[in-house]
Structure 1
Amino acid sequence: MKLRFSLTLAMLFIFGLVQAQKSIEDVTSGAEKKEGYFTYYWDEKSGKVWLEIDKFDTEFLYVNSLTAGVGSNDIGLDRGQLGGTQIVEFRRVGPKILMVQPNYRYRAVSDNMDEVKAVKEAFAESVLQGFKVEAETDGRVLVDLTSMLLSDAHGVSNTLSRSRQGNFRVDASRSAIYPPMLKNFPKNSEFEATITFTGSGAGGYLRSVTPSSDAVTVRMHHSFIELPDNGYERRKADPRSGYGTISYLDYATPIQEDIQKRFTRRHRLEKKNPKARVSEPVEPIRYYVDRGAPEPIKSALIEGARWWNQAFEAAGYRNAFLVEEMPEGADPLDIRYNVIQWVHRSTRGWSYGSSVTDPRTGEIIKGHVSLGSLRVRQDFLIAQGLLTPYENGTTPDPRMLEMALARLRQLSAHEVGHTIGLMHNYISSTNDRASVMDYPHPKIDLVNGKISLADAYDVGIGAWDKAAITWGYQDFPDNVDEDKALDELIEKQFKDGLGFITDSDSRPIGSSHPQSHLWDNGKSATEELNRLMQVRKLVMNNFSEKQIPVGAPMTTLEEVLVPMYMLHRYQLEGAAKVIGGTYYNYKLRGDSQPLPRTAPKAEQEAALNALLHTVHPSNLAFPEHILKMIPPRVPGFGRSRETFKVRTGIDFDAVAPGETIAGAVMSFIFNGQRATRLVQQKAMDSNQIGLTDVINTAIENTFGKTYTNDYHRQLNFATENQLVYALMDLFKNRGASAQARSEALLGLEKIQTKVSRGGTSGDSSTAAHHAFLRLTIEQFMENPQELQLQDALTPPDGSPIGMGMMHWCTLHDNH
């Protein structure tokens, strides 16, 4: 028995030795060899990819992405979507190969190797994959890469779960390598696989874009990329510059200096002659436009992206930024190509500019723009509402397409701007549209009493864009103090009136800068709102069946009407930010930029009055001819996210859209953070407008008004309800200050007194309305947290001019 056991062990040992001694050539015999950065083999018979590793303890970039996506803006798994960019290396431990991600967030940039080692050992690394050595030849080893390529490296399952679209896992039996996209190049190795996810509980978004919602099949791409050489010169970050950054903690930093290091994200660009004012680049930045984009869209994308060459010319480069059509057969995910990809989804949605960036230095290696194909149709729809485009019945007014293409050029330039390093600059709309990095609302002019779209979107790169590119890409001669020169460029921008304010300071909720907002226009948000209300009035009065072609169902007039009725939606948000607003810049100590200052009282009062004017019944009401024109929804043309939310079923609702606007305006004005700022600014300056002043003005402008028009009276009831609900929300908002909540409660008591005085006298509708408000406020006073308030109906989708209208939702909860 012992002899048999010993023989068995010996045989197993010999078998293992024979296995370990297999050569790479033995295992890969019959497989297709693909030579490149990492040589690998495609074995069609077994369906495996064998990776040959000859570079150990050598860092490289690993990027995963989606070649073929899901097609839903709401889910967010798009064609061409880049995943994480990770520095990794292969390490051998006996019969195992580990794919390790070092921790670059914590470093010691030092010549002292013990100091470097101390930091490295203090923070965790991540082993992303483990492989078994299958064969070896002359120090090169072979591993089976297939399981990694067939895994959910992009996190599709988590994304589906997070978006409440069901529970899904990779189904190995329905997944396989995708041979057409197994490609190899000297500096990058590319792999791809068809991955099928199976599961249950598919949500509505997923069901709408899959032929069988229990099986979701995508294609996932993997790239192994050689890291750039050491020739790239890092540029220090500056919060005033408008550039995105990378950062890390350097524990070798002297105690008296900042331990966090920040560097600008940008492409590598060098002048052939740094001393020359204008020079050819050593290597230009090249972008390629998706061959799948149709004309005239493709030409518009190319033209808009080429605008950036104007900025590089201003920075002293000649022919430094080139844009052309993608070469036939080229892979958009190939690291060698900066691309502008035309992405299709089931609904309109965001476009974005992403990039592959070296985490060590901030060097952008690949720019990748994804443009949602349905967004151009939204601009076409806006133009359709603004003009009378089907005067002759069927042939559309050519100005609609002209405006849509003008927006597309700007969008292409905008997203490319992100991929060359720039952040959003939302204050540029107040400075003659100084940057394409703003979100532009179409500029609608009134010329001789008629709508003009001749200047709807700007043409070319703005003044701030040119200044920003000069700061980021200027190539300084060796004898120039770069830090000083960069500061001087920022100072010049400020003196030239070129401001920079980005995302977190530009949202309607939470931020307070009166001049920085998304989708707005004009030097003054308030003045532009008043002007836009005049445009809106003209558009509504002129609205007719000529907005749609002959043969289209009359009910589809509502789809064209929506963006016209909501034409001022973003300007409302911009004007609301003036109330409790603060002017400020990203000032550094010692620079010439001013200190923060509170928006003057007169500006705040003007903004409040303009906002309250928008909810006057005459501005919420639809003209009578429109109400007579739009029939109930017809079969096959039901309500969608592009139509109004209603309380009348399939019939057009004449009041609910007004309720929507009133709810938004009141929630903007009485946002908890804004209310708290109003309380504090009044405390610091008794001459300033305070929260109670705002509440009293809102009450005076809504309650106690008499309307002979019953339709207008109903709209005013809706506005009064939304004011009450907004004050209740403010009182329940634990994120607001106690004083702000107290003043909201006082406002409710004032309203309660007003509606109590009316009793049940007057017309029956007013009496009923007052009775409802009295009961609602009484119940709220007894138990504020228990009262369930009726939400204002949310508006149809708007942003982007797609999706993202969460900030318009009036939510009644405990915050």
Structure 2
Amino acid sequence: MKKQVFILLFVSLYFQGFSQFFTENSTKKIQKGITKYQGYFTFYYDENEDKIYLEIDKLNTDFLYVNALSEGIGSNDIGIDRGQLGGGVVVHFKKAGNKILLVQPNLKYRAITNNIEEKKSVKEAFAKSVLHGFTIKETKNNTYLVDASSFFMRDAHGVANTLARNNQGNYSLDKSRSAFNLERTKAFPKNVEFDVLLTFKGKPKGYNIRSVTPDATAVSVNQHHSFVELPDNNYKPRSFDTRSGGYAMSYLDYATPVNESITKRFIYRHRLEKKNPNAKISEAKEPIIYYLDRGTPEPVRSALLDGGRWWNQAFEAAGYKDAFQFKMLPENADPLDVRYNVVQWVHRSTRGWSYGASISDPRTGEIIKGHVSLGSLRIRQDFLIAQALQAPYANNNANDDFALQMALARIRQLSAHEIGHTLGFAHNFAASTNNRSSVMDYPHPKFSLKEDGSINFSDAYDTKIGAWDKVTVAYFYQDFPEGKNEAEELNLILESATKKGLKYLSDQDARSQGSASSAAHLWDNGGNIHDELYNILKIRKKAIANFSADNIKTKQPYSVLEDVFVPLYFFHRYQTEATTKLIGGLEYSYAVKGDNQTIVKRVSGTTERIALQAVLQTLNVNEVAIPEEKLALFPPRAMGFGRTRESFKSKLGVAFDAFSAVETAAEMSLNLLLNPQRMSRLIAHKSLSESQLGLEELIDELTNKTIKKTHKNKYYQELQNVINTKVLEQLFYLGANKSQYQQVNAIVLYKLNDIKEILENKKSNGVQIIYNKAMVNMIEVYLKNPNSHKKTLAPQIPDGSPIGN
């Protein structure tokens, strides 16, 4: 009993030290070991206990809670990056007995009405979430003091779950090795920021976590928490239109009349208003300002600033003067401080994606903070591509400025692209087939051959904002004069874009290998997709013919030369993917009733056949064989320069494997061409018009260009056998597939009998007789029980995208 009295007395005396400073407006040490931070929420740090005590003086007042990572792990595969944002959610504090609850209301379901009871009925119908409960330590004048340490010192970002999901091991938070990071714990009038070093203990399983930590049993990262005042009610949400090039913020409004959609959709955008809405050109009341990470080195720094500033071209076209600005981040500013839109330079152990994220008001879609993460190794891949295409190191010289300039051109485009996401814009993967109309596409470097046979690098990447980007800025940010009907003006912007021939298609139309869009592709070029594939193949062939030891610097091991050769050998991979989509393809748009866009129509049979011949060229031994004389350039890997996932794979142990390179390239093309969804579309389209390319015709052409081919050159003939085996493997897979039309299975099985007969009757001699008989046997075994076949995979293709898994 005496012990309990002593503890109560100690606690009472301890918190008297806080109560006397409840009303003092300052940030300073108030007694030994205790520092007060005055801001949107006042809090105290007690260094004796490494604890945060929070003053709560705003009950039932909504604010924004955001978590993020201020320091990451550095692995692209794991995905726990420095500067990575978590969700931004609306929360409020609510008193319940001797506790304060942090409550997240459910904003997915609402009732926009003046009827209080109707609002209440929806609120009570759906669950809310209580994120944390705080025990009240002291109360004074409706202000409550709580120990908030456990709320901040937790795995809010889900690091342990991410590690487990990626098979890197089972980890748990070790609070004895965790602590508050005061350097990034700060208070401001409209936001307070808390930073915590968290250590996760566990048994590592995967290579990735071992590769990026000094001791993989103890993984330490920094998580960041922000409490932010929500914007005022003067922001006006703008309606989402599927044609507008943005993302939809949506919720269900149960107060909606029955004859209208219950789902309300609005765009995400920054608040931007003209000082003079009636002026054709006006400054903004508050410009949109972005800041670049001070840790970005030159010449990348200047390139990023140049590219990001392209957006001002679009804002000027929408009637603003200097409304978009891009500057260096002020010294000592925290990149995660919500007051700053930031482009952050992020390092990882391997090449990886860049991305643009944002914190927005979940009530309205207003963007509060844009945050871009740019992978620092991205520039090196573009440099490598240029280095592979044109040997810059002849005669011990380093004539590689052209490669640097091309890589910097890509960085400018990347800066504009990722900032575009944080302005509210979605990918436009139709832009590359539409005169490079948007920086929101994934651009492949565009090259041409000069008259002297050398490669022209001058037009590799665009140097400005695109025509489509001006449309999205106008739709999102145009400030209309008083008296104008906003809905009508917004529709005019989009209809005008259609009349100009601008196209917009996004991720779902481009990312799947079996997608049907004739226009939406990743890493492609050209209005005529198949023509650009032929162009890519010509450039690739020329560069391979010129490839030599001059593609690397003097004194570098030849293992590096092999690495330089990889992106050149697979240089055609993305244009091949784009071209295959013309086969069984569709031309369509995000049409709405009343506009003049193409709703949907089939790609013509003529175009399909042209595309097929272009794709079959990627299975031509003359195209994909590594020239015999080049094989002498690739010895076994040198000590300290072993193979990586971006290297050629080998079935020859330490030796370079030219056969496996061809096998991998062939499998890539065949996987794309003989996609089950694509083959089913051929059946459907052929039933509607005899002029369309049919599956039987496709297989016959594939057979003519592969199985029926013979070569006098023994090396080429062996490579042909490699390709032919992959053709059979892909047809076997297709013939047994259950996720396609049954007609596809029937035709494939029928054609395999034809191929068997061709092989049986094929004139051959020597070892080729053995190979042909083996392929005949493969077909016979397969036809007895197609469902028992297990596809033999080629060596994995080295990582390709992001150019710029």
Q: Residue 791 of structure 2: which of 771, 789, 792 is its match?
A: 789
Q: Residue 183 of structure 1: which of 186, 191, 208 is its match?
A: 186
Tell me the amino acid that sits aligned with residue 25 of structure 1.
S
Q: Percent identity?
A: 48
Q: Residue 456 of structure 1: which of 454, 460, 464 is its match?
A: 460
Are the aligned partners of 1:335 and 1:366 in contact in 2 as well (CA < 8 Å)?
yes
- Where does residue 751 of structure 2 map in the other structure? 747
- Where does residue 803 of structure 2 map in the other structure? 801
| Distance in 1 separating the partners of 2:290 and 2:358 | 12
Equivalent position SS for 2:73 = coil
Encode CA deviations 1:271-312: one digit per residue, 9 max, x unaligned.
000001100000000000000011111111111101100110
- Where does residue 507 of structure 2 map in the other structure? 503
Matched, 1:725 2:729: yes
Matched, 1:333 2:327: no
Instruction: Tell me by how many angstroms 1:624 deviates.
Output: 2.3
- Where does residue 19 of structure 2 map in the other structure? 25
Q: Residue 324 of structure 1: which of 324, 327, 344 is its match?
A: 327
Matched, 1:672 2:676: yes
Matched, 1:67 2:70: yes
Tell me the amino acid that sits aligned with residue 472 of structure 1.
F
Are the aligned partners of 1:289 and 1:324 in contact in 2 as well (CA < 8 Å)?
yes
Are the aligned partners of 2:732 and 2:789 in contact in 1 as well (CA < 8 Å)?
no
| Distance in 1 separating the partners of 2:244 and 2:321 | 23
Q: Residue 282 of structure 1: which of 274, 281, 285 is its match?
A: 285
Tell me the amino acid that sits aligned with residue 477 of structure 1.
P
Instruction: Tell me by how many angstroms 1:667 deviates.
Output: 1.0
Q: Residue 389 of structure 2: which of 381, 386, 391 is its match?
A: 386
| Distance in 2 separating the partners of 1:789 and 1:767 | 24
| Distance in 2 separating the partners of 1:630 and 1:62 | 55
Are the aligned partners of 2:514 and 2:581 in contact in 1 as well (CA < 8 Å)?
no
Instruction: Tell me by how many angstroms 1:19 deviates.
Output: 9.1
Q: Out of 17-26 and 630-639, give the one that drifted further.
A: 17-26
Are the aligned partners of 1:562 and 1:644 in contact in 2 as well (CA < 8 Å)?
yes
Matched, 1:477 2:484: no
Instruction: Tell me by how many angstroms 1:772 deviates.
Output: 2.5
- Map 1:368-383 → 2, pairs under 5 A: 368-383=371-386
Tell me the amino acid that sits aligned with residue 753 of structure 2.
E
Tell me the amino acid that sits aligned with residue 613 of structure 2.
N
- Where does residue 368 of structure 2 map in the other structure? 365
Tell me the amino acid that sits aligned with residue 219 of structure 1.
N
Unpaired segments of 5 or more residues in structure 2? 22-29
- Where does residue 118 of structure 1 map in the other structure? 121
Instruction: Tell me by how many angstroms 1:394 deviates.
Output: 4.1
| Distance in 2 separating the partners of 1:778 and 1:209 | 50
- Where does residue 490 of structure 2 map in the other structure? 486
Instruction: Tell me by how many angstroms 1:710 deviates.
Output: 1.2
Matched, 1:76 2:79: yes
- Where does residue 93 of structure 1 map in the other structure? 96
Equivalent position SS for 2:373 = strand
Tell me the amino acid that sits aligned with residue 638 of structure 1.
G
- Where does residue 737 of structure 1 map in the other structure? 741
TM-score (norm 1): 0.95
Tell me the amino acid that sits aligned with residue 578 of structure 1.
L
Tell me the amino acid that sits aligned with residue 369 of structure 2.
K
- Map 1:405-424 → 2, pairs under 5 A: 405-424=408-427
Instruction: Tell me by how many angstroms 1:657 deviates.
Output: 1.1
| Distance in 1 separating the partners of 2:6 and 2:556 | 78
| Distance in 2 separating the partners of 1:99 and 1:43 | 22
| Distance in 1 separating the partners of 2:178 and 2:785 | 56
- Where does residue 611 of structure 1 map in the other structure? 615
Q: Residue 270 of structure 2: which of 267, 271, 277 is its match?
A: 267
Matched, 1:43 2:46: yes
| Distance in 1 separating the partners of 2:268 and 2:740 | 37
- Where does residue 345 of structure 2 map in the other structure? 342
Instruction: Tell me by how many angstroms 1:202 deviates.
Output: 2.9
| Distance in 2 separating the partners of 1:430 and 1:259 | 36
| Distance in 1 separating the partners of 2:7 and 2:177 | 37
| Distance in 2 separating the partners of 1:335 and 1:21 | 32
| Distance in 1 separating the partners of 2:269 and 2:386 | 36
- Where does residue 664 of structure 2 map in the other structure? 660
| Distance in 1 separating the partners of 2:746 and 2:86 | 47
- Where does residue 27 of structure 2 map in the other structure? none
Instruction: Tell me by how many angstroms 1:673 deviates.
Output: 0.7
Encode CA deviations 1:522-578: one digit per residue, 9 max, x unaligned.
111100001111111111111111100110112221111111111111000000000
Are the aligned partners of 1:24 and 1:137 in contact in 2 as well (CA < 8 Å)?
no
- Where does residue 530 of structure 1 map in the other structure? 534
- Where does residue 704 of structure 1 map in the other structure? 708
CA shift in 2, pair 1:753/1:220, >3 Å: same
Encode CA deviations 1:787-807: one digit per residue, 9 max, x unaligned.
3331022211110018x2xxx
Encode CA deviations 1:719-762: one digit per residue, 9 max, x unaligned.
1111111122222322212222222222222222322334xx73
Tell me the amino acid that sits aligned with residue 92 of structure 1.
K
RMSD value, Cα: 1.9
CA shift in 2, pair 1:21/1:464, >3 Å: closer
Tell me the amino acid that sits aligned with residue 607 of structure 2.
E
Instruction: Tell me by how many angstroms 1:591 deviates.
Output: 0.8
| Distance in 2 separating the partners of 1:664 and 1:747 | 22
Equivalent position SS for 1:135 = strand
- Where does residue 4 of structure 1 map in the other structure? none
- Where does residue 445 of structure 2 map in the other structure? 442
| Distance in 1 separating the partners of 2:564 and 2:306 | 29
| Distance in 2 separating the partners of 1:183 and 1:764 | 79
Equivalent position SS for 1:129 = strand
Encode CA deviations 1:414-469: one digit per residue, 9 max, x unaligned.
00000001001111112221111111111111112211101111101111111211
Equivalent position SS for 1:392 = helix
Q: Out of 428-437 and 388-397, give the one that drifted further.
A: 388-397
Equivalent position SS for 1:133 = strand
CA shift in 2, pair 1:736/1:755, >3 Å: same
Are the aligned partners of 2:137 and 2:145 in contact in 1 as well (CA < 8 Å)?
yes
- Where does residue 811 of structure 1 map in the other structure? none
Instruction: Tell me by how many angstroms 1:11 deviates.
Output: 7.3
| Distance in 2 separating the partners of 1:620 and 1:11 | 85
Q: Residue 648 of structure 1: which of 645, 652, 655 is its match?
A: 652
Tell me the amino acid that sits aligned with residue 614 of structure 2.
A
| Distance in 2 separating the partners of 1:605 and 1:296 | 46
| Distance in 1 separating the partners of 2:7 and 2:205 | 50
- Where does residue 582 of structure 1 map in the other structure? 586
Q: Out of 98-107 and 736-745, give the one that drifted further.
A: 736-745
| Distance in 2 separating the partners of 1:254 and 1:29 | 60
Instruction: Tell me by how many angstroms 1:23 deviates.
Output: 7.7
Matched, 1:544 2:548: yes
- Where does residue 24 of structure 2 map in the other structure? none
CA shift in 2, pair 1:343/1:738, >3 Å: same
Tell me the amino acid that sits aligned with residue 773 of structure 2.
A
CA shift in 2, pair 1:614/1:13, >3 Å: closer
Instruction: Tell me by how many angstroms 1:386 deviates.
Output: 1.1
| Distance in 2 separating the partners of 1:46 and 1:425 | 52
Tell me the amino acid that sits aligned with residue 372 of structure 2.
V
Q: Out of 223-232 and 724-733, give the one that drifted further.
A: 724-733
Equivalent position SS for 2:678 = helix
| Distance in 1 separating the partners of 2:117 and 2:7 | 41
| Distance in 1 separating the partners of 2:785 and 2:14 | 75
